[in-house]
Structures are given as C-alpha cells and as structure tokens.
Structure 1
Amino acid sequence: MIAQDTIVALATPSGAGAIAVIRLSGKEAITIASQVFQSVSGKDIGKQKTHTIHLGHVVDNGKTYDQVLLSIFKGPNSYTGENVVEISCHGSTFIQQQIIQLLLRKGAKMAQAGEFTLRAFLNGKLDLSQAEAVADLIASDNEASHQIAMQQMRGGFSNEIAKLREELLNFASLIELELDFSEEDVEFADRTAFYELLNRIEFVLKRLIDSFAVGNVIKNGIPVAIVGEPNVGKSTLLNALLNEERAIVSDIAGTTRDTIEDELVINGIGFRFIDTAGIRETKDVVESIGIQKTFEKIEQAQVVLLLIDSSQLSVNSLPNVKVEIAKIRNKFPQKPLVIVLNKVDQLTPEALAVFTDELTDNSQPTTDNRKLITISAKQKIGIEELKNTLLSFVNTGALRNNETIVTNTRHYDSLLKALEEVQKVKWGLDAGISSDLMAIDIRQALFYFGEITGEVTNDELLGNIFANFCIGK
C-alpha cells in the first residue's frame, strides 16, 4: 500500500519566521528538486552523496525565488526510507507557497497529514508504537511527557512487547506442532516452563497497564480543581501559582462565575489548574450555573484543593467547615484532597495552631490522599510547599527509573485484551484442556501484541492514527 508518488509539504510551522523547511519524499524527490535548484558551485545534485547540504537558488524559467540550503538524504538511509530532500528557505509565507507550488508543478503531490511518518512505518523505519511516539514528542509541552515520548520513540516500549511476543510465539509453535501429532499424544512444549513464562508475561502486562494511570495524566496534564466558598482567595491563589494576573480578583463575592483554566509545569510535570465558581446557596441564575460546573470540574479533577479563609474562622464556624470537608470526602473518597488554609498572615500563631489542630483528622489513620497546609496567596507564603504537595500525589518513580510508561489509550486497550487472553491460557493449563483450544487463546494474545507494534494492522487503523498527525510530519 506504499504510494509511489513523491510528496511535498512544509515541515516547519505555517506562518512567517526566520527560516522554513520544505520536505520532499519519494523515488523522484532528488530528480524533482534538481529541476528547480541551481548550486552556487555548479554541482549536479543528482550526483551528490547522501547526507550532504548544498547552497544554491530555487530558479524556474529565469526567475529566482530564493537563496536556499538543500539537504539530500538517499533511501533507505532517511527518515521515510525513501529519497528525501529538505529545502531550507527564508521564512516568508509568500516564498514558502511559491516554492511548494513550483514543486507541485514539477510533479510532486501534496502530502497528507502524517504521510511522511506513515511511509517511515510502511518502509520498516519505525514500528507503529514508535510512529505514534513521534506525534507525542511533537505535542510534548513539559519534561515528563517529553521523556516518555523519547523513551517510546527509541523503542523502549516496542522492545518490551517484542520480547514477550517472541517468547510466547516460540511456545505457540510447539503447541501447534503438538496438533500435527495429536494422534500420537506427545507434548513438545514443557508445561512447567510455559506456565512460568505466562506468569512472567502476566506480571509485565499488569505493570504496563498500571503505568497508564501515571502516563495518561503526565501526557495530558494533571487537572487540579480549586474549590471553596466565594471570596476565600481562589482566584488570588491561581494567580500566585501562575505568577500572573490570570483570574479577576475582587472583594465582591461571586466574581468568578465560570471556571478558569490554565497550566503550570512543576518539576517537569504539567498541572492544569481550574479556578471554579464559589460554592454557596444563591438565587443568581448565572452564578448557579457556575456552581453546577464546579461540581462537574471536581468530578473531572485528579486532585482537589479546598480553600478555606482562615481569617473568617472561629470556634463557632469550625463545625460547618468540617461538614464541607466531609461532603467532599464522602462524594469523592478516592480523590486526593488538599485542605488549604489561606490568609494565615492575618492570624496569630496561637489561633493558627488551634485551627490547624481542629481540621487535622487525627481520628483516622494518616493517608497520602489528604493533606492540610497553610498559605497566604496574596503574600505568596507557602506556595512552594503547595507545589511540592501536588507533586507528592504523582508517582514519578517509574519515570525516574526510566521504566516503560504507557500513555496511549490504544496501547492500553490492547494490553488489557492481551492480558485477558494470557489469563485464559493459564486457566487452560490448570484445567488441562486440549492443545487445540489452548492454541486459539495463544493466537489471540499474539494478535493483540502485534496490534501495538503494527505487525497486525489494517488501513482503517492506520488512517485513524496518522490522521491526527500534522501535515509535514
């Protein structure tokens, strides 16, 4: 299904810039480029070595379009495995379009989204999980997501899956061989060794599946809902975290009537903060809608920051605050909750100690998903401690140890299905079922392994994956 056309597209972002890169790939890439490129040294680029760069001009019918650098990569030693030419021109949008249109007139075809990487996959330069990692690498906007994408693009995930598949395939071959000698009642596959292999595969699959919980939030950012009564300082806290005036701050309760979202990278981990409308009883229709959205955002959040105005606390109001905490804990028991006492700069140390002691739940065993910290959002006191607290909820151990982390939903789904088939095979061994029935489940497990790396694929799957790529990659 590899197209024979030579394709062209802008490889750098659209718009004006210092330089732009126009990429050609295909059998005729060098031939087409030679029709419009004149080297300043008079070289014939069709006769030049691969991985060389040449200075010259893009010229057609006596008209000079630009002075450019032209890079040559001859297949199969190129990104796509085909002949590739990259033209680095000046970044004027006019120049970009003029050169692309010229190359189209000379016989190139406009590339589709992700077509360069698709060709790299079809030509065996990348497997499917590595190709998907290219898109993740382009989209990475923090250190953690970049590290995961790089590890996957280098084949870390692919290699782990390939080893499991190869070992399972070896045993599958022996099981299939037994079917050929079924009348002689012989066993070529050592059942004890096979069971040990299945246990090892099951362990690795469960580890990869469990890593998705961390990988997914690192890839997409960890949503954190900032909730509390009106005018406790939620917008001020958001501004302090982001170090900019992102949210409107006012003494008027109910100023924030809709959710405000922004992102912050803390130690390489992306957090998406959601400043919500204050939770209170109100007859204002617009504010009521905002409060309803607040509960929706809490549902979507991974972490909840419950902000409390400590300057308004008293012995009489503490029971009501405890009720509000209990409501959130009961409704969202699995979500990490950070109780944040704000405006502590307005309290005496004695009063702060009393409130902190009262709101610390000593009746329950200490858990990692509930913490209490004190801050002053306006004075930016305790903000760094809050950031460290948020980081403590993210299990980055696998990231630090450079372990494989799954971030792709398609991979996660295939791993779940592969695990289910492996567990069926284990059950079959325990139950002593016949080799022909066991072989069916083994083949299905191998199928799901192959889906991840692209050894098993179809046009619809490839279309869905590469349609999400940017044109030029």
Structure 2
Amino acid sequence: MALHFSQKEDTIIALATPQGVGAIAVIRLSGNNAIKLANQVFYGKDLEKQESHTIHFGTIRDEKRVIDEVLVSLFIAPKSFTKENVVEISTHGSSYIINQVIKLLVSKGARPALPGEFTQRAFLNGQFDLAQAEAVADLIHSDSEASHQAAMNQMRGGFSGEIASLRTELIHFASMIELELDFTEEDVEFASRDDLRILVEKLLRVVEQLISSFDLGNVIKNGVPTVIAGKPNAGKSTLLNALLKEEKAIVSDIAGTTRDFIEDEINIGGVIFRFTDTAGIRETTDVLEAMGVSRTHEKMKAASLILYLFDLGDTDMVEISKDINKLENLGIPFLKVANKVDKANPLFVNELKKSYPDTIFISAGKKENLETLTSRILELVNLDKFRTGNTIVTNIRHYDSLTRTRQSLLDVLTGLDEEVTNDFLAMDIRRSLHFLGEITGEITTDDLLANIFSKFCIGK
C-alpha cells in the first residue's frame, strides 16, 4: 500500500533479522522520534545525549520489569540508512523477548513497519534512487557470486549512472525543441536535427546493449535452467547425483525409472544452475512413461542449456547423429556428453572424437572428468560482460522500461525522417525521458512504489 504523508512522519519499528530463535536479534526503529522513544525504555546512558554511530550497553525495561540486556546502536539523521534517526536494538534471539520489546515500543508510540518501508524511506529521503533501492532486495536474496556482484554494482549506482547519462543528454535537446515551440512564428532553430539524429542513434545503441544484457542478467539472478536429456539408462540420474554430490535421484538398471523430472540447484563457478533430470526419451507404450517423455520435450524447449547424455556402450553413430540434428534444430545451446567412458570400446571412442571433437567423455558413476564438464558448462554462459564490470540488467521492470524507451527513440528517428512538426517530435522525446525516469524514480507513482516495496521483507 502507498504511504500517506502522516505515515511518513511516524516512527516505525520491525525485526531486522530473520524470524526464529538465534543467538541475537536486531530490532530497528526509524523516524524523528526513534531515539526519544528508545530512551524511554532503555536504562543505561541517556541516548538523546549520545553521538551518532555509537553503541551502548544497558537494559530494556517495562517500568521496573527487566525484559533483556541489550546493545543499542545510534545513527543520527542524516547519517543513517533512511536519513532519519535510526536505533538498532540487539537483544537475545528469543521470540518472546523480541515480541515484548516491539510491543513495549509500540505502546510508546512506534508503528509496525510495512514491508520494505525502511528502504522506501531511504529512497524518498534521497539516500539512493529507485533502481538502487530495488538492488537492496536483490542483494539480500543473492545466492551466488554472480548475483551478488550484479546486485552490488546496481546498488552502488552503476546502472543508475548509465540511465542518468542518457537522460541528461536527451534533456538538453528536449529543452531546445521546447524552446523552438515558443518561437514558431520566427522560424528559429535552436536544436540541430542532424545533431539530434546522431544523439538518438547513440542512445539507441546504449539502450540496445542494456536490453540485450537482460538474458544474461536473468540467468545470473534466477539461475540457468539446464536439462539433462537422453535415452533411458544413459546415466542422467547418476550424473545429477554426481554433480549434486548427494543421492537426489533414484538410480536403477531398469529403463524408464524416471517418470517425471527432478530439479535441484548447483553453484558452478559462482553461477546458479537449475538442473533438471528428465525422463528418458524413447518410444513407449507405458502411459505414465509417455507423459514423462512429453514433459521432457517441454522442459527442453524452455531450457537455456541442454546436456545431451548418451551411453557409449548402448548408442551407435547413426543414433547420435540423429539426436544431434534434432537438438541443433531446437536452437538451444547444448553439450554432447558421452557417459560410461570407462566401459567403452576404444575404437568407438576414437570414431566419435573424429566426428564430434567437442564431445565430453565422462564416467558419471565413477565421477571421472566432471571438472571438464562443469568448465564447458560455464563457457556456454557468456559471462564476459559481467566479468569485465559492464552493466547488466537483471530486473524485468527495468527491461520493460528500456524496451519502451527504445520504441520512443525509434519514433523520434521516424519523426525526423518524415519531418514532423516540433510538437510531435517533442512528444516522442518526452516519452523517452519518461520511461528512462521510471527506472530511477524521477518519474514514479504511489502505486508503483507500493508494488515495488511490498515485495521486500518487513524490517528492510
């Protein structure tokens, strides 16, 4: 829900650490009266006379009843996360203690915080822009090196800097076009149409690069959907277990054991891969197995990477070639993985190496050559942009605004080609500025803010 002005003046309170019993818990207050309210229940030093960024030991008491011994950290405005007075109370991790402290401070005038309200206040108070605020949530939920670095880059203003640069250059021309509208009768040109075209084409190149980075950003944030596909008994479940280093999937010599698919996540080189062990692909009269094969085809079409696994002792070159042609027609990156190399005929292995030199030979059962496989998996995920520090778009809202920006800029070029009047040209430029401004929050609505921050955890 959107915040009313009166709510923005409240002192808010929430548990900032995860729910559950732990060694300590941190309760956070923010607002003009945060220190004053905390001082009413804290017995130790007078908090209102202490300096910012100091920590104080004492007790929290409800009148004479001691609730807990605590450490209180002070952050005096504007030197805090929200740019308001902030107090963080470190208590023991008992849920009873946490509830008693929060209940006591609410009785003194604090209000329970809404989801994401601390970060929303930081944004509204100018601590950072909207894209950086969203990066806070991404940082909290990052579960790999890649997603962590992408979130850190965005939170530190890398993406925002790119957008701000685009808007600044476009605003200059927008103001010149608007100025011309005031002098239509004098037929004065303040903005060179050739220079405007050069600028718009330059901006389009940058916007296109950001849009194209979303595919990479999406897999960095959400994981790479990877399907292990092949005939029954090729060793798909064994390979999944070997990669996971646990017995996740049932392994059996009976063909068609996997009727549905099994999923799990694996961190490879700092990137999360969402592996799916699928039902074996073959013609079958078994209704349940046939349903599994059908789902395998669906999973393959939705994957970003396919591991085509085949048993060297149970597959010939004709069958391999036929499967590879099907995968190439599918248009999804795939790796050819030859399993059970320890039991294979050396002549067949040599033939396969000549025909398909990029084949990876492994033994999933003996966990042989899996390092080569994981290295090749990483090579297929284009992390060059990410590794060199280029801006990566990971947020679907930003992607949507960028695609709208691209269309508006294309409309500007069309207007220049057709020599439309200044008012139509100005309209398309303003639309471009509007969509860019939506990303960083220069252009926003209460509904948009409510939608974004409602997805944050309470206490952040």
Q: TM-score, normalised by structure 2?
A: 0.96
Whether 1:32 aligns to 2:37 is yes
Q: CA deviation at 1:196?
A: 2.0
Contact persistence 2:313–2:345 (CA under 8 A): no
Which residue number corresponds to residue 392 of structure 1? 379
Which residue number corresponds to residue 128 of structure 2? 126
Amino acid at match of 1:326: N
**CA deviations over 1:142-170 (Å, ceiling 9, x no partner):** 00110010000001111110111011111
From 376, 398, 408, the counterpart of 1:411? 398
Q: 1:25-424 alignment to 2 at 5 Å?
A: 25-39=30-44, 43-313=45-315, 317-330=316-329, 332-333=330-331, 335-358=332-355, 360=356, 371-424=358-411
Q: CA deviation at 1:427?
A: 2.3
**CA deviations over 1:109-152 (Å, ceiling 9, x no partner):** 11111111111111111211001000110110000110010000
Which residue number corresponds to residue 426 of structure 1? 413
- Determine the C-alpha separation between the residues in 1 that align with 2:152 and 2:83: 20
The 4+ residue runs of structure 1 with deviation greater than 4 A are none
Q: CA deviation at 1:240?
A: 1.1
Q: CA deviation at 1:450?
A: 0.6
Amino acid at match of 1:280: R
- Determine the C-alpha separation between the residues in 2 that align with 1:286 and 1:101: 55
**CA deviations over 1:309-362 (Å, ceiling 9, x no partner):** 10123xxx43233223323332x12x011111100100243221123334x29x
Alpha carbons of structure 1 residues 408 and 426: separation in structure 2 relative to 1, 3 Å: same
Which residue number corresponds to residue 364 of structure 1? none
Q: CA deviation at 1:293?
A: 1.6
Whether 1:452 aligns to 2:439 is yes
Amino acid at match of 2:218: N
Q: CA deviation at 1:269?
A: 1.2
**Partner secondary structure for residue 240 of structure 1:** helix
Q: CA deviation at 1:459?
A: 1.4
Which residue number corresponds to residue 442 of structure 1? 429
- Determine the C-alpha separation between the residues in 2 that align with 1:449 and 1:194: 18
**CA deviations over 1:348-404 (Å, ceiling 9, x no partner):** 43221123334x29xxxxxxxxx4211110111121111111111111111111111
Which residue number corresponds to residue 368 of structure 1? none
Amino acid at match of 1:395: N
Q: CA deviation at 1:257?
A: 1.7
- Determine the C-alpha separation between the residues in 1 that align with 2:163 and 2:29: 33
- Determine the C-alpha separation between the residues in 2 that align with 1:283 and 1:446: 59
- Determine the C-alpha separation between the residues in 2 that align with 1:355 and 1:187: 69
- Determine the C-alpha separation between the residues in 2 that align with 1:194 and 1:281: 61
Whether 1:21 aligns to 2:18 is no
Give the CA RMSD over aligned residues.
Answer: 1.4
Amino acid at match of 1:287: E
**CA deviations over 1:407-443 (Å, ceiling 9, x no partner):** 0011011011111111211222233222111001001
Whether 1:7 aligns to 2:12 is yes
**Partner secondary structure for residue 185 of structure 2:** helix
Q: CA deviation at 1:103?
A: 1.3
- Determine the C-alpha separation between the residues in 1 that align with 2:322 and 2:228: 18
**Partner secondary structure for residue 12 of structure 1:** coil
- Determine the C-alpha separation between the residues in 1 that align with 2:59 and 2:323: 71
- Determine the C-alpha separation between the residues in 2 that align with 1:468 and 1:255: 40
Q: TM-score, normalised by structure 1?
A: 0.94
- Determine the C-alpha separation between the residues in 2 that align with 1:85 and 1:150: 25
Contact persistence 2:116–2:453 (CA under 8 A): yes
Q: CA deviation at 1:456?
A: 0.7
- Determine the C-alpha separation between the residues in 2 that align with 1:158 and 1:232: 48
Q: CA deviation at 1:289?
A: 2.2
- Determine the C-alpha separation between the residues in 2 that align with 1:285 and 1:37: 68
Q: CA deviation at 1:290?
A: 1.8
- Consecutive unaligned residues of structure 2, counting only runs of 5 or more, are none
Figure out how many residues of one structure are paired with residues of the other and give that number: 455
- Determine the C-alpha separation between the residues in 2 that align with 1:106 and 1:302: 54
**CA deviations over 1:168-200 (Å, ceiling 9, x no partner):** 111111110000000000011123322222122
Q: CA deviation at 1:57?
A: 0.7
**Partner secondary structure for residue 76 of structure 1:** coil
- Determine the C-alpha separation between the residues in 2 that align with 1:272 and 1:255: 21
